A and B are shown apart, each in its own frame.
Chain A
Amino acid sequence: MRWFLMSAVLFTICGAAYAAGDPLTHGMKLYEQRHYEEAASLLRQSLATAGADRLGGINLALGMTYLKSATLHRELQQTSALIYYDYLKRLGTGQGKGGSHFVDLYLAELLLDNDKPGEAAPLLERFLLGENLPAKYLAIAKAELGLCYHLQGDQDKAKQLWEAVVATDPEVQGALAAVFGRAGMAEREPLAMCDKAVAAAKKGGKKIPMRLLKDALAVYTSLSQTDKGLDLIRNADLRTYSYEEKLGKNKTIYFYDLALLEVLTKLYGQAALTYLARSAADPKLRETAEYYLGEAHYRFGSLEQASRFSAASAAAGKLPASYRGRANVREAAILFRQGHRAEAVKEWEGLALKQPADPELLAEAVAACAELRAEAPKLLQRATAAAESGEGKKFFSVNAALGGYYLSRKNYAKAVTFMEAGRDKGNKNKIEANDPLLLVELAEAYYRTKKFSESQEIYFEMGKQFPQVRQIQDALQGIYSREQKSAGDVRIF
């Protein structure tokens, strides 16, 4: 079914006569293989030279790619928040002689990103008391401590700190710009500050430091400077650490910017909305584009717009029935988010009863319930029955969705069972054969059940296409090394 849908979309986008060398066709192939970064890069480049008849298709393909990418990055960000936070906390307990100083800074930034300035401030204060620390990082910590005070209502203390920051280094300028952007201080011109910092950092063909990249993206996305953001990450190595703390000859700790995944989510979400809106201007593509616009708004835009587009898709005669069914599922999800919970559940359960033979639709509805923590017992019953009696790849999606449902309910053992059933075992962790969203959720379930090496292997494969998962891999290795309880055995096989 999914193959059929994809073929239908491909046909709509590319037209009947697409050639193998055509960037649009190639881009859609990469999209199908879940090589989102490659697909987006290729499609975006092709915009400049594409003829008018191809522009709408390229915009639609780009919008779809960024939508998938944004959704994946949101999931990655949530996983990283869990694992990286856990790691930093453990690292923090080992402070003292030979311990890390920078764990305070990175833990504070994580808390600040999670709107916990009260918890972040003492860590930054402690970091600032450290001896022999690089001036750049002390300045960054001051800027962020100022933000903590600002968010807690102490403007004077914040101002005092900000004025004491010497912002000659591009990374400090970037940090300050992000702080002003977050504090809503447009008069400080965070955009101009960022541009200046980025230009200075790039001088001599140098790569932008990861910290500046993250801060600049935060400012650009907050001001909807989507193209600027996309240009900035084009040649960046997203696996790079943010800081390397050397604590002796044989002890080095790498710190990563957790916020990177969050800003990438926002950036790709904005890009999805932009390109899908452009493609909707093409009358031939309007219905398909609006279907995806409904989803993009539901996830990254306005709920009102999501409702409008989803209603239109549900009634669009030219869309395949399965697309209309999915639009119905989304409409119910919107109702749920608007507070009409009983109505939403009734709608999902009604769909499950009407189309019990469509595992994809069941999967969509169960996934919506999982995401919204909604209870729909009849739907769950239908989906479980379908998963247990169904055979073959057709039922992977419903197993995967049920796994996600149990993960959201913290029933990790059941989550693992269903998600393993939803994974292509012949291509265990390959993103070309498995939805990366499933793999990320399965990796979380493995992490929660302390099957660290399974989780690690998923990210090992995923890292080949999405290098930004390095922060998760590193944190996971750190936790695994502490948690493992084995005797030190090795055997020949």
Chain B
Amino acid sequence: MKKIWIALLMCTILFAMTVASQAARKGDARQHGGTLSYGEYGRPATLDPITSNEMISLRLTELIFNGLVGINEKQEIVPELAERWEISKDGRTYTFYLRKDVTWHPREGEAVQKFNADDVIFTYRIMKHPKTITPLKVRYEFIETAEKLDDSTVRFTLKRPILNALAKFSFKIIPQHGPRNPDFLTREDPFVQHPIGTGPYMLQSITADREIVLVANENYFKGRPHIDRFVSKPFADQNIMTQALVYNAIDMIVLVNPRDIPEIQGNKNFILQPYNALSYSFFGYNMRDPLLADKRVRKAFTCAVNRQEMLDSFFNGQGTIISGPFAPGSWAYNLDVQPIPYDPQQAIKLLTEAGFTRGADGIMQKGGKRLSLSLKVPIEKESEAVKRVVLAFKNYLKNIGVEIKVEFKEWQAWKEDVFLEHDFDIIYASWVFDDSADISSLFHSAEIGPWKNNFGGYSNPEIDSLIVESKLTLDHEKRRTINRKLHALLAEETPYTFLWTLTNYTAYQKKVRRVAIHPYKFFSFADDWFIAEKEQK
């Protein structure tokens, strides 16, 4: 018995030594300390990596969690929770050998728990559970089985080899002891508001003002991050956010309002750093409404809107008009497809072809039904520029006899209306993509349903078939051709009025050093950022 106790004690000491040595391992001379507060465009609905489908959460989860693999600044896949991996010759089996020195963020009153293979299998299973609320399911359909081989080895078998499979194992791992419900994860589970992860920062608190405070994880397996605290501060108004930066109330803005770029550019106290998030804004249509199910109506709306005028007037021309479902910086953008030109006469012609006539009140109608529609906009988008965009849209459509009723909704309520209840006619929003240019969750008919990304209920067998073929192929050129076709078809189908992609800059105080930005996830390299001691607050 005594021997067992000694062995256990030795194990505990060895474990503690391992953790301590790992924590101290970040071998640079940069100083620890300081707080970095950054301005965000709103409050995240959830803070876990599974249920969220918004950028604000994504940025936070990047600080709190890790994947089996990561992607470094050179676009190379690098070890994270897996220290190495093997891929079978037929490309169907991926075996990951996990790090043994990783611990979960501690919860008050609980012992520190080690990360192991059970957590990986748990994450995969909970992600795939039919009752789990997540947009991720479609991304992991290619996995046939996930098995634990031992505490530090897991094996995934794919249904078939796919392009770029390894990168897909960058999904974030959550702890088995995290969610209250061990089977599936919903937005009601306390874990989604108070998550624990393995990442460089731990959630400390959410203040009454909904500021999210993260503190450095002393036991982070890549070494303690340099900056002590990250504070996410929500701003409903973009103009105030820029002023907050200028007057030192915050240290960083994740995305500068394009109109404010000249102001910050002229100020030596700040760094303006470009990063190319592949994003675009759009008006999206609910095709469950029979009026909007008619392609001619949607196309008429697109013809009625002078996008270049809006971009120039409301964003100082700092962006690019797009023609289809990909961002211009993407490899999938079809350069031969031109944006539908502004042509109100053509818009009226299209509505007439669709059977509409002007009513006595000037509004188009068909079968006694007036063409009067709701436009729902999330309140976080209630910036001056966005207000102008939606009002301009309303006016452009009025000119062709369409009535638009604008409704600003609180972010969570807006998401419920759009993604859960599908209670809207038109929305104004933006999508942000990673480099993979994967639009399958947006337009495939299997992605229609509660909390899925095909919120408009768009269904087209030709598009479905191309999306499936694109996912199945191992041929890069074939995939490119299919994406070009998808672009051309969706530009013609106009499930959205594709608007523009805006210039993306982050701005931060010069005191924050060694800042490298991941163009999509943003904070991927934040554990290496630092603030010189004399400049720490």
Question: A residues engaging B (CB < 8 A)?
Answer: 91, 94, 98, 100, 247-248, 250-253, 391-392, 420, 425-428, 449-454, 456-457, 460-461, 463, 470, 473-474, 476-478, 480-493
Contact = CB atoms under 8 A, between A and B. Distances in A.
B318 A428 contact: yes
B439 interface: yes
A456 B330 contact: yes
Given A94-B477, A428-B274, A392 B434 contact: no
Interface string B232-274: 0000000000000000000000000000011001101000111
Given A425-B265, A481-B480, A484-B436, A493 B279 contact: yes
Contact of B434 (A94, A456, A461, A489): A489
Q: Which 4 A-B pairs have the closest CB atoms?
A: A453-B329, A484-B435, A486-B434, A480-B331
Given A420-B274, A487-B436, A490-B453, A478 B476 contact: yes
B306 interface: no
Interface string B365-383: 0000000000000000000
A493 B318 contact: no
B435 to A, nearest CB: 4
B168 A454 contact: no
Contacts of A463: 335
Nearest to B41: A493
B480 A478 contact: yes
Contact of B478 (A250, A477, A491): A250
B436 A391 contact: no
Nearest to B255: A493
Contact of A454 (B261, B329, B432, B480): B329
Contact of A493 (B170, B274, B432, B485): B432
A391 B268 contact: yes
Contacts of B335: 460, 463, 470, 473-474
A420 B76 CA distance: 24
B320 interface: yes
Most buried by B among A250, A392, A427: A250
B307 to A, nearest CB: 15
17 contacts: A248-B478, A250-B466, A253-B477, A450-B75, A452-B329, A453-B327, A457-B276, A477-B480, A480-B330, A481-B332, A481-B476, A485-B166, A486-B436, A487-B170, A488-B440, A491-B431, A492-B453
A206 to B, nearest CB: 20
B345 interface: no
A152 B163 CA distance: 42
Q: How large is the interface on B (under 10, 10 to 19, 20 to 34, 35 or more residues)?
A: 35 or more
Interface string B66-90: 0000010011110000000000000
Contacts of A450: 74-75
B405 interface: no
B333 interface: yes
A488 B168 contact: yes
Contacts of A98: 475
B58 interface: yes
A483 B71 CA distance: 12
A493 B435 CA distance: 16
Given A454-B276, A487-B139, A493 B316 contact: no
Contacts of A451: 276, 519
Interface string B326-346: 011111110100000000000
B441 A490 contact: yes
B384 interface: no
Contact of B430 (A456, A476, A493): A493
A453 B276 contact: yes
Nearest to B136: A489
Given A420-B274, A428-B274, A484-B331, A453 B435 contact: yes
Interface string B405-449: 000000000010000000000000111111111111110000000
B329 A490 contact: no
Interface of B: 41, 53-55, 58, 71, 74-77, 135, 139, 164, 166-168, 170-171, 261-262, 265-266, 268, 272-274, 276, 278-279, 316-318, 320, 327-333, 335, 415, 429-442, 453, 466, 469, 475-482, 485, 503, 505, 519-520
Contact of B71 (A91, A473, A486, A492): A486
B481 A491 contact: no
B433 A456 contact: no
Contacts of B433: 489-490
A250 B481 contact: yes
A450 to B, nearest CB: 4
Contacts of B505: 425
Contacts of A474: 335
Contacts of A426: 261-262, 265, 316, 318
A456 B331 CA distance: 8
Contact of B329 (A251, A456, A482): A456
A487 B139 CA distance: 8
Given A451-B276, A478-B331, A486-B167, 15 more contacts: A94-B475, A94-B477, A420-B274, A426-B318, A452-B331, A454-B274, A454-B276, A476-B331, A480-B330, A484-B437, A485-B75, A485-B435, A490-B431, A490-B439, A493-B430
Centre residue among A425, A450, A473, A477 by max chain B CB count within 10 A: A425
Q: Which of B75, B438, B503 has the most CB of A within 10 A?
A: B75
B272 to A, nearest CB: 5
B432 A252 contact: no
Given A252-B481, A425-B272, A493-B431, A488 B331 contact: no
B476 A491 contact: no
Most chain B CB neighbours (cut-off 10 Å) among A453, A480, A484? A453
A413 B54 CA distance: 31
Contacts of A492: 53-55, 415, 429-432, 453
A186 to B, nearest CB: 41
B478 A251 contact: yes
A452 B434 CA distance: 12
Given A250-B469, A453-B276, A487-B167, A493 B55 contact: yes
B311 to A, nearest CB: 13
Contacts of B278: 453
Contact of B77 (A425, A461, A485): A485
B398 to A, nearest CB: 27
Nearest to B438: A488
Contacts of B476: 94, 478, 481-482
A94 B479 CA distance: 14
A391 B268 CA distance: 8
A398 to B, nearest CB: 16
B480 A485 contact: no
Given A483-B75, A490-B441, A250 B485 contact: yes
B320 A477 contact: no
Nearest to B260: A426
Nearest to A474: B335
Contacts of B168: 487-488
A438 to B, nearest CB: 14
Contacts of A100: 477
Contacts of A493: 41, 54-55, 279, 429-432
A460 B335 CA distance: 8
Contacts of A247: 477
Nearest to B138: A488
A250 B482 contact: yes
Nearest to A428: B503
Contacts of B469: 250
A491 B54 contact: yes
A241 B433 CA distance: 29
Nearest to B276: A453
B227 to A, nearest CB: 22
B316 to A, nearest CB: 7
B435 A392 contact: no
